[in-house]
Amino acid sequence: MPPMFDERLRSDLADRRTRLIEAVTHEPDARDYRALLSEVDAALARMQAGSFGLCEACHEPIEQDRLAADPLLRRCIDHLTAGERRVLEQDLELASQIQLTLLPPREISALGWDIAYHFEPYGHVGGDYCDVVRPDPPGDGLLFLLGDVSGKGVAASLLMSNLHATIRSLTTVGLTVEQLMTRANRLFCQHTLETHYATLVCGRSTAEGAVELANAGHWPVALVRGGRTEFIDSTGLALGMFCGSEYHHRLLQLDPGDFLVLYTDGLSEARNRADEEYGTERLAARLADQARQPGMTARALTTACVRDLAAFRGGMPASDDLTIMVVRRTP
């Protein structure tokens, strides 16, 4: 377990203990508080003894994302009781439903833009972030975002939800793309573990076809135009790495029929049975080929990408969350 992760959990448990002691003082007959206090004390004792985070059944490390979400855990997933498994499955199903409610509509057409996406978490929940914010007032342009929080599973999905709430709150105060990214980074730094970070692409489009595009350490964005694909590189560090980071944007001008394609490593780093990586070269070729097809829409190009990935994997299971977003300038 990383030292900073361990230290943050120790601090979190100590804070919980202080609050529980206050609660027990005011309500001495509260059995639930006393039981929870005993669990916290036991967890702190395990930290002192050096056994914290180890499964009591097999003595192997408990999954780090589960431990980050609940530092009182004592067993890994493989050694949960039947009752604990049922509770976990119910919690994951509820978390999955909640995460789906955070997603934007599957297809959006507004202000001369056509946007579609595919979202596929590796498990019940994932750490990919995807959103489209409609303009308010209407003249401000569409804001589209796609990112990836470090890690997988429950902990990553919680951080993704935190990032979603942060971005949504910042979109209401009239910030530029640079200001939005800079403030989101500062808030993400302040409210997450030092071991976590998030890559993020943020774009703001106008009805005239202009796009301000900022990229915080994410995969390059594919620009598909005139039968060719070029990649727009990152313009800053991932969110959460340094609180004082500042971000810049690139200004693009898209013509009718041009596409921007955003994706996570569930696409670019996918592997087939020969252990070959999908990669950006294959992506560039497939995008250019598909974009030449007459009447190609954002939804059709998204679907084509998903199908090509499935054909490439040849039945190999996914190993990461997958999100693809296609932004098309309409005639």
- 17-25, long-range: CB < 8 A, 24+ apart: 17/41, 17/44
Which top CATH class is 98-329? Answer: alpha beta
pLDDT at position 28 is 66
- In whole angstroms, give the CA distance from residue 274 to residue 307: 19
DSSP helix/strand/coil, 258: coil
Query: pLDDT digit string (tens) for 91-149?
Result: 777 777 777 878 899 999 988 999 999 999 988 878 899 999 986 665 567 999 999 99
Looking at the chain, the domain(s) classified CATH 3.60.40.10 span: 98-329
What does 188-238 look like in DSSP terms, one character per residue? HHHTS-TT--EEEEEEEE-TTSEEEEEEESPPPEEEEETTEEEEE---BPP
Residues contacting residue 257 through CB under 8 Å, at least 6 positions apart = 225, 291, 328, 329, 331
The tokens for 32 are 């639930």
pLDDT for residue 16 is more than 90: no
pLDDT for residue 238 is more than 90: yes
Element at 148 (helix H, strand E):
strand 142-149
| β-bridge partners, 228 | 225
The alpha carbon of residue 152 and the mean position of all alpha carbons in its chain are separated, in whole angstroms, by 9
Query: pLDDT digit string (tens) for 249-300?
Result: 999 999 999 999 999 999 999 999 999 999 999 999 999 999 899 889 999 9
What architecture (CATH level 2) is domain 3-80?
Answer: Up-down Bundle (1.20)
pLDDT at position 95 is 72
Give me the mean pLDDT over the 61-79 stretch: 82
**Is there a contact between 324 and 146 (Cβ–Cβ < 8 Å)?**
no
The tokens for 77 are 């997933």
**Is there a contact between 197 and 214 (Cβ–Cβ < 8 Å)?**
no
pLDDT for residue 8 is more than 70: yes
- In whole angstroms, give the CA distance from residue 155 to residue 153: 6
Looking at the chain, the domain(s) classified CATH 1.20.120.910 span: 3-80
- In whole angstroms, give the CA distance from residue 245 to residue 243: 6
pLDDT for residue 24 is more than 70: yes
